[in-house]
Structure 1
Amino acid sequence: MSEEILINVTPRETRVAMVENGMLQEVVIERTRKRGIVSNIYKGRVCRVLPGMQAAFVDIGLERAAFLHASDILPPPIAGDSKEEWKINELLYEGQNLLVQVIKDPLGTKGARLTTQISIPSRYVVLIPYSANTIGVSTRIEKEDERRRLKEIVLRHMGMVEQGVIDNQNDRETFATRPAENSTGTNIRPCLNYGFIIRTAAEGVSEEMLCADMDFLCRLWQEILEKSSESKPCSRVYEDFSLVIRTIRDLMGGSIEKVRIDSRETYREVISFAEKFIPHIVPLIEHYPGERPIFDLYNIEDEINRALARKVPLKSGGYLVIDQTEAMTTIDVNTGAFVGTRNLEETIFKTNLEAAQAIARQLRLRNLGGIIILDFIDMIDAEHKRQVLKTLEKCLEKDHTKSHIIASEVSSLGLVQMTRKRTRESLEHVLCETCPTCQGRSSVKTAETVCYEIFREILREARQFENQEFLVLASQDVVDMMIDEESNSVAELETFIQRSIRFQVETSYTQEQFDIVLLR
């Protein structure tokens, strides 16, 4: 599989596109004015504790207070390894200052989500400073010998010895460790009394590079602690790397063949970062000086515009209908013009198979998160249902964002329930806003409906005021209908109220807008 990363940089906006086999799979947009804050670390101040919700609101200097749940708070040191569930008012109090990290950007009317369980990623490892003496290994590193080699490197560099496996959850396997002691009984490396997670990118990496990554993170954490002690409450003490550097750090794997950047300044920045942390990928990074915009190379601008549409055509003639709401996203599959060549069940099966692949791509491309309901066309054959679900699961494996199919089967109604982690605003929310005409309803009142509303309003005002004439200001379509199809109704109304009615087109009015002016 051929993969390329295209990076378009302008003074106010950076866009990163991931292209697989010539087709856009993912696009991330970061604007200077609305840069995401996930992974940033703040010195926050608790402004409200909510025992009923087991949560607290924390002021970190943003427009809205951020949300911190009890499950995201480190237990007090005296708790040790206790599994007891702590109450929020036993952990926090109003006015308390604490170091917190953002794990979810503000979305819509909701503030940012926080945690005190801080983690700082680098290229090959993640530092978890408050999880002392534990090591995690990504389960995506499947070779047992390699897992053992990497874990032993980290153990040696920390001066630790393994006690045994204690946990196995999500995407890592965690080991308990204890400090190795020298002949005097003191810790060999007390300054590295932290925890680490070995990332997938560390597979095959040399001991020197892995240890350098660990040392870099430890130095960075000490700087954060020093800055935190000097900073005022409600201020930022650490900001994550820019979108471009995060992309190079996180997405550069064995299948990436090329990274093209259209900004010479950003290219130099990336080269400098890569030479220091990921030297083997330097030959893959190139500056794109072409006059043709870099996103035009693969029609990415057109793909982005299509990703904002509600309807997604399939090659077979079928189509998807994607609707985003506050609570969930629904994706409906339709056969459309596809009639097939054999029978109806075969037609439905082929459409659903194609739809499963398209859905996985659209989830990445649009960055849809939260609860997602997939409404496949009803299938009778149980084997067809199994194959459609298997195809969906296989396509979702390529997604860098974690997703989960809730029930491992297609329901009798053809529904599949799944979730996808919300990492940032969806593409639609980044690029669009609520329609000022329909206010997000996806429809507007017809010209006929507005005409009848005007009639009722004129009757209402005729009963209240002693004017001689009415002037109706409305859109072109409404006025045209009034003086054409509804002309008899207008004449009858004038006779009934014994006053004349005039019309004037206001080009700036939407179809639903109108005003009635009283004339003497």
Structure 2
Amino acid sequence: MKREIIVNSSIVETRVAVLEDGVLVELLIDDSKNKSIAGNIYKGRVLKILPGMQAAFVDLGLAKDAFLYVRDIFEDVEEFEQLLTIGEDDEPGEPLSDEPRSNFARGRRPQASIEEILKEGQEIVAQVAREPLGTKGARITSHITLPGRHLVYMPTEQHVGVSRKIEDEAERSRLKQIIEEINPQREGVIVRTAGIGKEKDEIEADLEFLRSLWKKIKDKAETLTAPAVVQQDLDLIFRIFRDLFTKEVVRLVVDSPTEYERCLEYAESLHPDLKSHLFLYTEDEPIFKSFGIEREIEKALRHKAWLKSGGYIVLEQTEALVSIDVNTGKYVGKHDFEETVLKTNLEAAREIARQVRLRDLGGIIIIDFIDMARQESRDRVLQDLKEALKPDRSPTNVSLLSELGLVEMTRKRVRQGLNKSLSASCPACGGLGYVRSTPSIAHQVLREVEWRLFSKRIPMVRIRAHPDLIDWFRAEDGEVIEALQQTYGGEIILVPEESLAPGKYQLLEG
């Protein structure tokens, strides 16, 4: 797979596009005014405990209070308090038992409730796990994670592991052995895919850097009064080099000379062997337009995505879930109906995986594939979907494909999706995607006019409305208006008003 990273940097914002075989699969945007807060670490104050929801509202100094679930709290009370007693003891604690524990109750004494762990007014150190979405505040966790180049360091955990995306068993065993040697305290550490092939000294240096960073974070938190920012995640350009710039990237193209120099510095310190993959874009045409990215972004904001065969998928985002519907569209196949459906579903599976990554869809996703009679066809489509989702950096979980052709999947939601970031609800329909029809509004207006003429004996009613609605009255409801005037003895005057939005109207009496 040919992977490219295209960077468009300006005073307004920085945009990063990831292309795979020339196709846009991921878009990252860092607004100069509204920067992402995911991954930031705060010292917050507990405002309110909600025993019925086993959660708490925490003031981080943001526009909306953050939400902390009991399962996202460093559960063992003594260790949680010890974590917040910053700087008293630099010695690592005794390693906990290697006995496996559930993710929900890691280290927690049986049935500990949020009231036992937190108190209103208490100050806590927490990390933003999910940015504010819509009317909801940020979701936070006390399980701190610090990503490095080769490792993810989790100072409040004791889980040691290797990324599931590293599939070679020999390499997994080698990396586990290295971690056990350099991490006798069994601090929380996960080896990232960037750790493949790295030597012990490189991995150990990364771990020491992250340990040092965590100590600085704790020391700084001790000096701050909540609410306050303790640690902000790195800017987008640096995160590219930390998370995305690997040997699989054939080139990284930047359109800003200043940012290009920064990239050279990062490459020199992090990936000296990959400096030759950096390029400065100097053409006259804007970089995103030149690579066809602007056009793909516009397509990603539409509900419908076309497949090369002529079929299409429809993506609808709701408050509860994302629904994706697959249709054959213009594709009618050649001979066998099952073959036609299978080909459409296979193509759709790959496109769905791309759209999910590109649009950054999260939460529950329901995919309605076209019904297939053969079990082997359903298995093949499901397998293709899972394979296409493997490059996705966000964790996904795909269920079995039902006889009705439905697949349920979940994807970790960290930030607002592309649609929410780049678009706003339509002022006319309020985001519904449709407005009331002109006949429906006209009938509502005339019902109100009739009620006023009949019950209030008003001699004259002026209807002020958008010219389109006024034209409808004159063309379609002229006889009705005449009948109302004759029946109730009042006068109805139509007044076109350009300033009123379609569907809006005013009734003036007298």
TM-score by length of 1: 0.88
What's the counterpart of residue 339 of structure 2? 346
Aligned mates of 1:202, 1:247 — CA distance in 2: 16
SS in 2 for 1:507: coil
Q: Which among 297, 302, 305 is matched to residue 309 of structure 1?
A: 302
Aligned residue in 2 for 1:386: 379
- Aligned partner of 1:511: which letter? P
Asked whether the equivalents of residues 445 and 511 of structure 1 are also in contact (C-alpha less than 8 Å), the reply is no
State the partner residue of 1:168.
none
Residue 423 of structure 1 corresponds to: 414
Match of 2:366 in 1: 373
Q: CA offset at residue 267 of structure 1? A: 2.1
1:126 aligns with 2:152: yes
The Cα shift of 1:416 comes to: 0.9
Are the structure 2 counterparts of residues 382 and 302 from structure 1 closer, same or farther at C-alpha, using a change threshold of 3 Å?
same
Change (3 A) 1:118 1:307: same
* Cα distance change, pair 203–309 in 1 and its aligned pair in 2 (3 A): same
Deviations 1:267-298 (A, max 9, x none): 22232223222322222122212221111122
- Residue 483 of structure 1 is matched in structure 2 by 474
Residues 24-48 of structure 1 show CA distances to partners (whole Å, capped at 9, x for unaligned) of: 1111222233222111110111111
Q: Which residue of 1 aligns with 2:118?
A: 92
Does residue 281 of the first structure (1) align with residue 274 of the second (2)?
yes
- CA displacement at 1:156 relative to structure 2: 4.5
Query: Distance between the aligned counterparts of 2:382 and 2:162, measured in 1?
Result: 29
Match of 2:429 in 1: 438
**Is 2:241–2:270's contact at 8 Å kept on the other side of the alignment?**
no
Output aligned runs, 1:228-307, within 5 Å: 228-307=221-300
1:497 and 2:493 aligned: no
Unaligned runs of 5+ in 1: 161-176, 179-193
Q: CA shift at 1:196, angstroms?
A: 2.5
Correspondence 1:318 to 2:343: no
- Secondary structure at 2:427 match in 1: coil
TM superposition shift of 1:101 = 0.8
- Could you tell me how far 1:242 is from its partner in structure 2? 1.1
- 2:318 counterpart of 1:337: no
Q: Secondary structure at the match of 1:484?
A: helix
Quote the Cα distance in structure 2 between the aligned partners of 1:364 and 1:474: 44
Q: 1:146 aligns with which of 164, 171, 176?
A: 171
Q: 1:313 to 1:140 in 2, by over 3 A?
A: closer
- 1:136 paired with 2:129, answer no
Distance apart, 1:50 and its partner CA: 1.7
Residues in 2 aligned to 1:355 and 1:131: alpha-carbon distance in whole angstroms? 40
Q: Following the alignment from structure 1 to structure 2, what is the Cα–Cα distance between the partners of residues 226 and 150?
A: 31
Deviation at 1:210, TM superposition (A): 2.4
Structure 1: distance between partners of 2:472 and 2:271: 67
Q: Normalising by structure 2, what TM-score?
A: 0.90
- Deviation for aligned residue 1:264: 2.0
Residues 49, 57 of structure 2: 8 Å contact kept:
yes
| Structure 2 CA distance for partners of 1:4 and 1:446, relative to 1, 3 Å | same
Shifted more, 490-499 versus 95-104: the winner is 490-499
Instruction: Give the direction of change, closer, same or farther, for the CA distance of 1:216–1:309 in structure 2 (3 Å limit).
Output: same
Tell me the CA shift for residue 155 of structure 1.
Answer: 4.5
Distance 1:405 1:145, change over 3 A: closer
Number of aligned residues? 484
Deviates more, 1:288-297 or 1:458-467: 458-467
Residues 389 and 150 from structure 1, CA distance in 2 versus in 1: closer, same or farther, beyond 3 angstroms?
Answer: closer
1:200 and 1:314 map into 2 onto residues whose CA distance is 32
| 1:119 positional shift | 1.4
Asked if 1:399 is matched to 2:398, the reply is no
Indicate whether 1:76 and 2:77 are aligned: yes
Range moving further from structure 2, 293-302 or 279-288: 279-288
> Do the aligned residues in 1 keep the contact of 2:247 with 2:274 (CA within 8 Å)?
no
Q: Which residue of 2 aligns with 1:184?
A: none
Map of 2:134 onto structure 1: 108
Offset at residue 368 of structure 1 (A): 0.9
Partner of 2:43: 43
1:429 positional shift: 0.6
Tell whether the 8 Å contact from 2:54 to 2:113 is kept in structure 1 after alignment. Answer: yes
Give distance in 2, aligned partners of 1:305 and 1:71.
39
Farther-moved stretch of structure 1 (15-24 vs 217-226)? 217-226
Separation in 2, partners of 1:202, 1:95: 42
- Structure 1 stretches of 4+ moved >6 Å: none
Measure the CA separation in 2 of the matches of 1:148 and 1:42.
36
| Greater Cα shift, 233-242 or 377-386 | 377-386
- Kept after mapping to 1: 8 A contact 2:19/2:26: yes
User: Separation in 1 of the partners of 2:422 and 2:234?
Assistant: 22
Q: Is the 8 A contact 1:446 1:511 kept in 2?
A: no
**Structural mapping, 1:500-515, within 5 Å:** 500-515=491-506
Identity %: 40
Cα offset for 1:153? Answer: 4.1
Q: Are 1:518 and 2:502 matched, yes or no? A: no
1:145: Cα distance to partner? Answer: 4.3
Q: Distance in 2 between matches of 1:319 and 1:30?
A: 31
Shift in CA distance, 388/131, structure 1 to aligned 2, threshold 3 Å:
closer
Q: Residue 59 of structure 1 contacts residue 65 of structure 1 at CA under 8 Å; is this kept in 2?
A: yes
| Aligned CA distance change for structure 1 residues 315 and 142 (closer, same or farther; 3 Å) | closer
Matched residue type, 1:417 = E
- Aligned-pair CA distance for 1:76: 2.4
Deviation, 1:236, is 0.5
**Per-residue deviation, residues 252-278 of structure 1 (Å, max 9, x unmatched):** 223211111112222222322232223
Q: Post-superposition shift, 1:144?
A: 4.3
C-alpha distance in 1 between matches for 2:108 and 2:228: 33
Aligned partner letter, 1:27: L
* Counterpart Cα distance in 2 of 1:46 and 1:25: 39
Contact kept? 2:452, 2:458, Cα under 8 Å: no
Q: What CA distance in whole angstroms lies between the structure 1 residues aligned with 2:125 and 2:360?
A: 29
CA drift of 1:425 comes to 0.7
CA distance in 1, matches of 2:196, 2:7: 26
Maintained 8 Å contact 2:39/2:232: yes
d(CA) in 2 for partners of 1:473, 1:22? 54
Deviations 1:211-238 (A, max 9, x none): 3322222222222112111111111010
Change (3 A) 1:464 1:235: farther
Q: Which amino acid aligns with 1:447?
A: T
